[in-house]
Homo-oligomer: A and B are copies of this chain.
Amino acid sequence: MALDHRKQEILKAVVDDYIETAEPVGSKNLIARHAFHVSSATIRNEMAELEEQGYLEHPHTSSGRVPSDKGYRSYVDSLLRPRDIPPEEADRIRACLNDCLDEVTDLIRRATSVLSENTGYTSLVLTPQLRKSQLKQIKMLMIEPGRALVVVVLEAGVVKDRLVRIPQMVDSAQLMQVAAAIEEGLSGMKLDDITLVTVASAARKTTIPESVLNQVLYEAYIAIKQADNLEVYMDGSSKMLGYPEFRDINKARGFLDALSRDKLIAGYMNEIGEDEPESLESDRDGSVQSDMPTGLALTHGRNDGRKPAYMVRIGQEIALDGLSDCSFVTTSYRIGDTVAGHMGVIGPRRMAYDKVISHINFIKTALDDRMRKIAGVDTETEEDHR
């Protein structure tokens, strides 16, 4: 079952070469490009066995080999050698994230673009998921008779709002009274646990006629629920057309169609994010760390119990229509100390995993840092934000 050392080396070489050239790799080419001290015939024998074991595939009898999902999986789990991010590139990334406006959405937009630019693939970043965040404040602001703005403040300084209609007869004072009642009753509750009933019972003691009150409460409730509205930022989808696997227009179309169902992808990312293993102790300074990745246990004997901070789905492992020719590397970012949202890179299965993994980890860390500042978790360090 387990591969001996030489097979691993060969598998790694095949995957590396295939990633680079996009051509099925043959035994001769392999020895030409790598310093194996055996003949091509030996390599052939080994490759035949790797194929038998399911790590490689044969497009047709007389062509070179191509990695299977299983081959990629093995590569990613234990063969892959992380790549250092050159300091200038690291600086550029950090600079780009740091010079953003003081807003979460702007930061996320930038992260999305940086992630795609630096990997060369399609990037996806979800806005923070707030279902499990606590409600801190709720304010209602009269805009004009009949219309009000509901402002919902969550922990970690996330603010959402929503314009609503209310009965004309409600006046500003009443509105504030209702908001204050709701806030008193619900403050500290998780968004998930708030229902129309809890809202209503929180505001029971106000002095406003029931029928009018109900409508206001309903709108407040919707606004609260609306607060964990998930959005998807995406960049670089057209980059995919540059890769030979998408030279077939139908494949390309299938891919882009799949991407256009972004809510579906977002749901999937949240789902697989749930069972994401604990992040490794990320060192906060965001320095370029060549020992960053993780699942290297097998090949490099560093199985010290750390789990990877990222997940890789390869080909058929992606449970989304139209993306089974792709690979999907995901991770999550934090606001303060809690996992807030997910981000990922989609590329061809023949993806430069080492590069993507280094970059997504680096950007995740940089994003965490920045998020920490923006969300005001450590407001004590007052910084240059003009």
Report A's interface with B, CB cutoff 8 A: 102-103, 137, 139, 141, 143-144, 146-147, 149, 151, 153, 157, 159, 161-165, 218, 235-238, 241-242, 246-247, 249, 252-253, 256-257, 259-260, 376, 379, 385-386
Query: Which B residues lie within 8 Å of A143 (CB)?
Result: 137, 153, 157, 159
Query: Which B residues lie within 8 Å of A385 (CB)?
Result: 165
Known contacts being A238-B256, A256-B238, is A147 close to B246, with CB within 8 Å? no
- Nearest B residue to A253 via CB reads B241
Contact present for A151 and B146 (CB under 8 Å): no
Q: Which of the residues B144, B163, B218, B247 comes within 8 Å of A102, measured between beta carbons?
A: B163
Query: Which B residues lie within 8 Å of A162 (CB)?
Result: 103
Query: Which B residues lie within 8 Å of A236 (CB)?
Result: 260
- Nearest B residue to A164 via CB reads B102
Contact present for B218 and A386 (CB under 8 Å): yes
Q: Which of the residues B103, B249, B376 comes within 8 Å of A241, measured between beta carbons?
A: B249
Known contacts being A102-B163, A103-B163, A157-B163, is A141 close to B144, with CB within 8 Å? no
A250 to chain B minimum Cβ distance, whole angstroms, is: 8
- Given A241-B249, A241-B252, A252-B252, 9 more A-B residue pairs with CB atoms under 8 Å apart are A139-B141, A143-B153, A151-B161, A159-B163, A165-B376, A238-B259, A241-B256, A242-B253, A249-B252
Q: Which of the residues B146, B256, B376 comes within 8 Å of A144, measured between beta carbons?
A: B376
CA separation between A147 and B153, bound complex, in Å? 11
Contact present for B149 and A159 (CB under 8 Å): yes
Contact present for B237 and A256 (CB under 8 Å): yes
- Nearest B residue to A215 via CB reads B386
Query: Which B residues lie within 8 Å of A164 (CB)?
Result: 102
Contact present for B163 and A161 (CB under 8 Å): no
Known contacts being A146-B376, A157-B163, is A238 close to B253, with CB within 8 Å? yes
Query: Which B residues lie within 8 Å of A259 (CB)?
Result: 238
CA separation between A165 and B147, bound complex, in Å? 27
Query: Which B residues lie within 8 Å of A238 (CB)?
Result: 253, 256-257, 259-260
A–B pairs, 25, beta carbons within 8 Å? A102-B165, A137-B143, A141-B141, A141-B151, A143-B153, A144-B157, A147-B157, A147-B376, A149-B151, A151-B151, A151-B161, A161-B161, A165-B385, A218-B386, A236-B260, A237-B256, A237-B260, A238-B253, A241-B249, A241-B253, A241-B256, A242-B253, A246-B249, A252-B252, A256-B256
Query: Which B residues lie within 8 Å of A376 (CB)?
Result: 144, 146-147, 165
Nearest 7 A/B pairs, CB to CB? A238-B256, A241-B253, A238-B257, A159-B163, A143-B153, A247-B249, A149-B159
CA separation between A146 and B246, bound complex, in Å? 51
CA separation between A143 and B238, bound complex, in Å? 41
- With a 10 A CB-CB cut-off, give which of A163, A235, A252, A259 has the most chain B CB atoms: A163
Contact present for B249 and A379 (CB under 8 Å): no
- With a 10 A CB-CB cut-off, give which of A103, A143, A157, A242 has the most chain B CB atoms: A143
CA separation between A365 and B357, bound complex, in Å? 49
A359 to chain B minimum Cβ distance, whole angstroms, is: 20
A349 to chain B minimum Cβ distance, whole angstroms, is: 19
A382 to chain B minimum Cβ distance, whole angstroms, is: 8
